[in-house]
Amino acid sequence: MIPKYREQFNSEFSQEKYSEVLQSFEDSVGTKPLFRVSESPIFLTEEFREKLHDACENIITQIKEMSPEELSKAIPEHCNVPNDTKQPHFFTIDFGICQNEKGEIVPQLIELQAFPTLYCFQKELHNSLIQEYPFLEELKPQMSDEVYYEELKKLIVGDENPENVILLEIYPDQQKTNIDFYLTEKRLGIKPVCLTKVKKEGNKLYYENNGKLTEIKRIYNRVIFDELDHIPDLKTDFDFRDELDVKWITHPNWFFKISKYILPKLHHEFVPKSYFLNDFPQHENLANFVLKPLFSFAGSGVNLNPTQEDLAKIEDRDNYILQRKVIYAPLFKDPNNEFSKAEIRLLYIWHEDEDRPKLMEHLVRMTKAAMVNVDFNKKDAIWIGGSTAFFEKV
Residues 281 and 242 in one domain: no
Query: b/e string for 208-221 if b means 16 or more Cβ within 10 A?
Result: eeeeeebbbbbbbb
Residues 188 and 336 in one domain: no
Confidence category of residue 371, pLDDT binned at 50, 70, 90: low
Residue ranges of E strands in the chain: 42-44, 90-99, 105-113, 165-169, 191-194, 199-201, 204-209, 212-216, 218-221, 247-249, 274-276, 289-293, 320-324, 332-333, 339-349, 358-367, 385-387, 389-391
Task: Count CA atoms within 13 Å of residue 37 on its CB side.
Answer: 26
Distance, in Å, from the CA atom of 296 to the CA atom of 230, rounded to the nearest integer, reads 13
pLDDT of residue 355: 96
Residues 200 and 75 in one domain: no
Distance, in Å, from the CA atom of 323 to the CA atom of 110, rounded to the nearest integer, reads 9
Report yes or no: 305 and 380 within 8 Å, Cβ to Cβ.
no
Task: State pLDDT tens for residues 39-76.
Answer: 999 999 999 999 999 999 999 999 999 999 999 999 98
Query: b/e string for 86-105 if b means 16 or more Cβ within 10 A?
Result: ebbbbbbbbbbbbbeeeeeb
Region 222-245: mean pLDDT is 89
Residues 197 and 210 in one domain: yes
Region 6-21: mean pLDDT is 97
Residues 135 and 6 in one domain: yes
Residues 73 and 130 in one domain: yes
Residues 99 and 227 in one domain: no
Region 131-135: mean pLDDT is 96
Residue 379 has pLDDT above 70, yes or no: no
Handedness of CA 340, 41, 337, 44 (dihedral sign): positive
Report yes or no: 1 and 351 within 8 Å, Cβ to Cβ.
no
Residues 267 and 278 in one domain: no
Residues 143 and 234 in one domain: no
Domain boundary among 198, 216, 249: 249
Report yes or no: 130 and 137 within 8 Å, Cβ to Cβ.
yes
Task: State pLDDT tens for residues 68-119.
Answer: 999 999 998 889 999 999 999 999 999 999 988 888 899 999 999 999 999 9
Report yes or no: 165 and 206 within 8 Å, Cβ to Cβ.
no
Region 261-288: mean pLDDT is 94
CA 42 to chain CA mean position, Å:
17
Residue closest to 172 by CA, chosen among 14, 64, 31, 331? 31
Task: State pLDDT tens for residues 140-196.
Answer: 887 899 999 999 999 999 999 999 999 999 999 999 999 999 999 999 999 999 999
Report yes or no: 343 and 110 within 8 Å, Cβ to Cβ.
yes
At 366, the amino acid letter reads: M
The answer to whether position 56 is within a domain reads yes
Report yes or no: 304 and 323 within 8 Å, Cβ to Cβ.
no
The answer to whether position 254 is within a domain reads no
pLDDT of residue 300: 64
> Degrees (nearest 5) of the Cα angle 215, 221, 224?
130
CATH number of the domain that residue 188 is part of: 3.40.50
When divided into structural domains, the chain yields a total of 3
Percent of the chain, pLDDT > 70?
96
Residues 317 and 335 in one domain: no
Confidence category of residue 229, pLDDT binned at 50, 70, 90: confident
Its domain, for residue 172, covers: 157-249
Residues 36 and 115 in one domain: yes
The answer to whether position 255 is within a domain reads no
Residues 143 and 3 in one domain: yes
Q: What is the pTM of this model?
A: 0.93
